């Protein structure tokens, strides 16, 4: 789709432009999107392709085997993937969020130990949410981490964890004491003592969503991020900037809905005319396109400011408006596809289910409004 007068940024991963690399992987993802949704299974071939093309190492420094790029580029990657599969985009996003957590809060030894394998072969996840809640991080975490010599023993349950079925590196926030200073973040390697129960969501199917139980899982104290008692800082420090690439997933879904709908209404006829020739339909297309471009500027602006200033409020704004846009775009796609829009596993059907998930995951719309309103009223 042409965007006259809008400059598109070009990034390079190795010797290829990001757009070329993502386009190559997108073709593979698109060919498997329906199967992933139906089976609710992550696809090994896609995971391999993501590693091979450094899309799971986009944030990892070049000297450690990654692409050495930033949040803007990571956002663009998941935006493009989300046009064909929000599930694959979400899996990619969560892995990169875990990578970003180690980049931000890991010491040099931890970075050198974990980042090369996260850029090349081991999928990661971040485990914060528990059955008792997710939004209220400081009070909802019950998982215990008991000190034992030079290690910690973790016991408890995390839920709604993306990549849980395939991840081998986990960033886990557990309780080592009471109150806000009683949380600690760990990098857990492997799956010994870990039991995963796959969940069956309506949206984002095939992203490895599961409930994860820890039974006497031993973690060396060398794997603590930022020191004992810093878990809340690590959790919030990961979540705030991560809402920017998550917003890009919503943006990509909206763009995919628009592109698919335009293709359909250009060939579908009603009352002797192509549906695209009706003016009221054209106006709806214009409104959605304008909204997409407006939200895109907000998301990209937040990504560009990451690392330069606190983007907590800006990221919340991006997450709120992008998820609202995605839901509206998906509804538009279903409506204009008519009966075909409600056929199970069709593009419009998947988009409609995924769009609702986008309003809930990584901070509900209500939490985003709370963050924004507190900043405005202060």
Q: Which residue reads 């995971």 in tokens?
A: 47
Contact 80, 22 (CB under 8 A): yes
Per-residue pLDDT at 138: 76
Summarize pLDDT for 222-274 with one digit per residue, the tens.
999 999 999 999 999 999 899 999 999 999 999 999 999 999 999 988 898 99
Distance CA(125)–CA(102), nearest Å, equals 12
pLDDT at 21 over 90: no
- Per-residue model confidence as pLDDT tens digits over 309-340: 999 999 999 999 999 999 999 999 999 999 88
CATH superfamily of 236-377: Butyryl-CoA Dehydrogenase, subunit A, domain 3 (1.20.140.10)
Amino acid 136: pLDDT: 77
In CATH terms, the superfamily for domain 12-123 is: Acyl-CoA dehydrogenase/oxidase, N-terminal domain (1.10.540.10)
CATH 2.40.110.10 fits 125-232, yes or no: yes
pLDDT at 307: 85
Label residue 271 exposed, middle or buried (CB < 10 Å: 0-12, 13-18, 19+): exposed
Which pLDDT tens digit goes with each residue over 283-311? Answer: 999 999 999 999 999 999 999 999 899 99
Give, as one character, the DSSP assignment of residue 133: B
Q: Which residue has the tokens 């180690």?
A: 102
Catalytic residues: 362
Q: Give residue 328's pLDDT.
A: 97
b vs e for 276-310, b when ≥16 Cβ sit within 10 Å of the residue's Cβ? beeeebeebbeebbebbeebbebbbebbbbbeeee
Q: Report the C-alpha gap between 56 and 312 in whole angstroms.
A: 24
**What are the two backbone dihedrals, phi and then psi, of residue 230, each rounded to the nearest 5 degrees?**
-105, 15
Does the pLDDT at position 111 exceed 50? yes
Strands (E), the chain: 12-13, 16-17, 124-127, 144-148, 151-161, 169-175, 183-189, 194-198, 210-220, 224-225, 269-270, 273-274
Domain ranges in the chain are: 12-123, 125-232, 236-377
CATH topology match: 125-232 vs 236-377: no
pLDDT tens digit sequence for 174-233: 999 999 899 999 999 999 999 999 999 999 999 999 999 999 999 999 999 999 999 999
Q: What does the DSSP assignment read for 175-206?
A: ESSSSGGGEEEEEEES-TTEEEEE---SSSTT
């Amino acid at each position: 789709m042409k965007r006259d007068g809008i400059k598109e940024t070009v990034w390079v991963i190795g010797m290829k432009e990001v757009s070329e690399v993502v386009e190559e992987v997108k073709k593979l993802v698109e060919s498997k999107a329906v199967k992933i949704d139906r089976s609710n299974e992550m696809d090994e071939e896609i995971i391999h392709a993501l590693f091979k093309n450094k899309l799971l190492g986009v944030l990892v420094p070049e000297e450690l085997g990654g692409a050495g790029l930033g949040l803007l580029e990571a956002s663009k990657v998941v935006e493009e993937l989300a046009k064909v599969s929000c599930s694959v985009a979400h899996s990619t996003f969560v892995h990169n969020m875990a990578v970003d957590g180690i980049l931000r809060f890991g010491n040099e030894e931890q970075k050198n130990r974990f980042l090369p394998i996260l850029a090349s072969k081991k999928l990661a996840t971040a485990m914060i949410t528990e059955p008792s809640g997710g939004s209220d991080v400081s009070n909802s975490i019950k998982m215990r981490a008991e000190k034992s010599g030079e290690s910690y023993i973790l016991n408890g349950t995390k839920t709604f964890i993306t990549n849980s079925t395939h991840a081998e590196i986990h960033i886990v926030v557990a309780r080592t004491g009471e109150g806000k200073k009683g949380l600690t973040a760990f990098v857990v390697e492997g799956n010994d003592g870990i039991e995963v129960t796959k969940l069956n969501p309506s949206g984002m199917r095939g992203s490895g969503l599961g409930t994860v139980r820890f039974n006497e899982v031993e973690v060396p104290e060398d794997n603590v991020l930022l020191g004992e008692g810093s878990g809340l800082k690590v959790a919030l420090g990961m979540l705030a900037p991560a809402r920017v690439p998550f917003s890009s997933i919503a943006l990509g879904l909206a763009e995919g809905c628009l592109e698919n709908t335009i293709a359909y209404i250009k060939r579908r006829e009603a009352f002797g005319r192509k549906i695209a020739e009706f003016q009221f339909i054209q106006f709806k297309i214009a409104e959605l396109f304008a909204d997409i471009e407006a939200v895109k500027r907000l998301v990209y602006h937040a990504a560009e400011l990451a690392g330069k200033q606190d983007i907590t409020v800006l990221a919340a704004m991006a997450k709120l408006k992008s998820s609202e846009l995605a839901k509206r775009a998906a509804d538009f796609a279903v409506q204009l596809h008519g009966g075909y829009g409600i056929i199970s596993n069709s593009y419009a059907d998947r988009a409609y289910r995924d769009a609702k998930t986008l309003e809930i995951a990584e901070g509900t719309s209500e939490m985003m409004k709370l963050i924004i309103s507190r900043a405005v009223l202060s």
